[in-house]
A and B are shown apart, each in its own frame.
Chain A
Amino acid sequence: MLPNRSRTSVLVFLLPPLLLYGAAVLFPILQSLFLSFFSWNGISDMEFVGLDNYVRMFFADDIFWRAFLNALIYLAICLVLQLGGALVVASLLTSLRRGRELIKTLYLLPAVISTVAIAFLFVRIYSLEPVGLLNQLFQWVGLGALERPWLSDVNTVLAAVSAPEGWRFTGLYMLIIYAALLAVPKELEEAAVLDGASRWTLFTRIRFPYIRPVWITTTIMATTYGLRGFDIPYLMTNGGPGQSSELLTTYMYKTAFTSTDFGYASTISVFIVIECLVAVGLILFLLKRKADS
């Protein structure tokens, strides 16, 4: 228990960031909630429409559901690449004797490159005419039949825009997980090895349970970033062709700033906020339950 005076000082120091958080995060969310009950194009008079926007979103908007589904697929691809990739690379790193620093830096590099540069880079990589790196690779290894305009093909575009985002942050999560793996006590591992545990048992029974708290945090981080994904799909395809790579975020942005339908865009943004909260709640619930059992 802190003495009275220092408790006051803690409160005094906590207050400014709390106020800032309120003004920068809570206020806009409340404002969106408020706007979602109105029809407003920015220059007309605001018209109260009650729950009309919500009814439209859930029952009369095919693009919304398409974008929601796309966002889930986008999230799944990002999570597999980011968390799965990070775990594999981090585990391999711990068994490496030399060159760890170099490999760590190389993997982290994409995370420091600007998004716009990454988007343009990948537009070139996926290009068919002039032929880009990916299609060129397929030609070289004799898989010419797989050549295609990745960003124009409705079947591949969603995966194609998800991959750069996944690739980009693999290094970051790898670093976090790697740090956690380093903290696993060596004597535990040695004891297990003496008892004849295989590498797989070692990983599932000792290492992973030990890094679980870090794993939960990274999962939450990756999920919320994935659900908020916007820039790379927006820059690479602007949601197209058709709605094949439209995410909830890009759809919301277009609704607000292209269609100037601020009321309806706020409705979508309220949905995104709730969706993120539900996702985090779900992760915590599932992982906690697993830990308890």
Chain B
Amino acid sequence: MKNLFRAAAAAAVTALALTACGGGNSTDPSNVSPAGEIKPREISWLLSRPADGAVINIMKKLADDYAKEHPGFELNLITTPDRPSYIQKLETLAAANKLPELFDTDATPFAQQLAKQGKMVDAEKLLKTLDMYDDYRPAALDYQRFDDGSLYMIPFQFELEFIWYNKALLEKAGVGVPKSLDDIPAMCTALRQAGITPIAIDGQDQWPLERYVAYQPFREAGPDFIQKLKKGEAKFSDPAGQKTAIWMAELGKAKCFQDGFSAQGYSDAQNHFTSGQAAMYNIGTWELPSLATDKLNPAVRNDIDFFTLPTTEGSVTAANEFVSPSGIGMAVNARTYDPLVSDFLKFALEKYPAEYAATGALSPTTDVETAVPANATPLYQKALDQAKDLGEKQAMPWDTQLDPTTNGRLQQELVLLVQGEITPQQFTDTMDKTIAQNAPKFFK
């Protein structure tokens, strides 16, 4: 029996030692044009995008075109649209050192660690070598950058986030479009009194509520606040942090979000808005096909409009600066980067923008014009035009910035704060403590 235990323990140690040693052999991440012959083979892209969405359809088509010239080439697309599941998959594969040739990631602290370990190809160099760097919208690239300004992910989208609203419902409640973020709680009270749900929100996925907590600090202290907060250099007890904690509690007190929002999903929230029950809905241009075309419920079609993130008094960011994400980015695995991957990326990235813009979406590059679909309402063009007039700063979604433990705790505590279960003071204490505990490990 004793021997058996000893053997089992030895086996456990060996197996762990083996997995721990597996991470050594990476190539130089700054060598973006590897020399050698192109040998076609199957490559994989682990991604988190809608299975029948434009990005996947276009890349499939481009891969087929490429395979015609390079028999034996195949692009294997493995998608997990559900973001939390995807992140788990990605992190587990990274831990096992089994990442495929291409993989999606936001500019998270975890991705930054991968980049630091030389596991990702330098995207800035790659795009410059392909002579495409200047075609990209600066905002689209900035969204993908790490704090130190380095770029390791390539964007495939460009989106703008607006607050969509129902003119008729606002009129019914006798309120106008808010001029300041601080007007929203009072607006919610008025809407509730008129029997209208003020804001429809997808509480189940948690990131939509986390957007709101980012707004006040972005106006009050600019994009730097979250950069400092996540490292523990700024605190929720600072003025900008206090402002957002108190504002979120006010939103909750004014019953801004639909009852039981925390258990409602993405489509529940959207239906709540498009069926004319909720007055406002915060979502990006990726929903243009359902909000600004004849697919939208005819009963509300003429009443829907949008406004961009309101400013506040003394705001340090301008009205044309708000959340403008370029979606999850694609990283290139440095370990498997070879002449084939390099050649395929060159082929695909050059052809992608024109194909993508033709679907009616905003390309991450500026060299193509988006085609407005035939069934679009006038709102479609109005939304696209916003992209032409953007300020330099952009509000980063906090879920891509914070370390995962702090992020998880923030998402939980926000629900409690908005539901009135905890006070802004308790929220502040818990979050500052959590950041102090977890940030040093991630940002050392």
Binding site for B on A (CB under 8 A): 22, 26-27, 30-31, 34-35, 39, 41-46, 123, 126-130, 148-149, 151-152, 154, 236-243, 254-255, 257-262
Contacts and interface: CB of A to CB of B under 8 A. Distances in A.
A53 to B, nearest CB: 13
Q: Identify which of A41, A148, A255 gathers the most chain B CB atoms within 10 Å of its CB.
A: A41
Contacts of A237: 262-263
A42 B92 contact: yes
Q: Identify which of B92, B94, B95, B110 gathers the most chain A CB atoms within 10 Å of its CB.
A: B95
Interface in B259-286: 259-264, 268, 272
Contacts of B114: 43
Nearest to B205: A238
B289 interface: no
A123 B421 CA distance: 22
A283 to B, nearest CB: 26
A127 B263 contact: yes
Among all A-B residue pairs, the 7 with the closest Cβ atoms = A149-B260, A42-B95, A151-B263, A242-B416, A257-B88, A259-B405, A152-B260
B1 interface: no
Contact of A240 (B84, B415, B441): B415
Interface in B162-187: none
20 contacts: A30-B9, A31-B16, A34-B12, A41-B441, A42-B92, A43-B94, A44-B113, A127-B260, A129-B258, A129-B264, A148-B260, A149-B262, A152-B261, A152-B262, A241-B419, A242-B415, A242-B421, A254-B408, A258-B84, A260-B404
Contacts of B263: 123, 126-127, 149, 151-152, 236-237
Given A27-B8, A43-B23, A257 B262 contact: no
Contacts of A238: 204
Contacts of A260: 91, 95, 110, 404
A34 B8 CA distance: 12
A239 B206 CA distance: 12
Contacts of A43: 23, 94-95, 110, 113-114, 117
Contact of A154 (B95, B405, B421): B421
Interface residues of B, number: 45
Contact of A129 (B87, B92, B259, B422): B259
B415 A34 contact: no
A27 B113 contact: no
B212 to A, nearest CB: 16
Contacts of A243: 412
B408 A240 contact: no
Nearest to B437: A60
B13 interface: yes
B20 interface: yes
B91 A31 contact: no
B87 A258 contact: yes
A269 to B, nearest CB: 14
Given A241-B412, A241-B421, A26 B92 contact: no
Contacts of B94: 42-43
A42 B91 contact: yes
Contacts of A126: 263
A44 to B, nearest CB: 7
Contacts of A254: 408
Contacts of A258: 84, 87-88, 404-405, 408
A259 to B, nearest CB: 4
B413 interface: yes
Contacts of B405: 255, 258-259, 261
A259 B405 CA distance: 5
Contact of B12 (A27, A39, A149): A27
B8 A152 contact: no
Interface in B377-430: 403-405, 408, 412-413, 415-416, 419, 421-422
A257 B260 contact: no
B38 interface: no
A41 B94 CA distance: 10
B316 interface: no
Contacts of A236: 263
Given A129-B260, A151-B260, 7 more contacts: A30-B8, A42-B92, A43-B23, A152-B259, A236-B263, A242-B422, A258-B88
B51 interface: no
Contacts of B92: 42, 257
Contact of A259 (B84, B95, B404, B421): B404
Interface string B231-275: 000000000000000000000000000111111100010001000
A167 B15 CA distance: 41
Nearest to A255: B405
A31 B15 contact: yes
Nearest to B88: A257
B11 interface: yes
B91 A26 contact: no
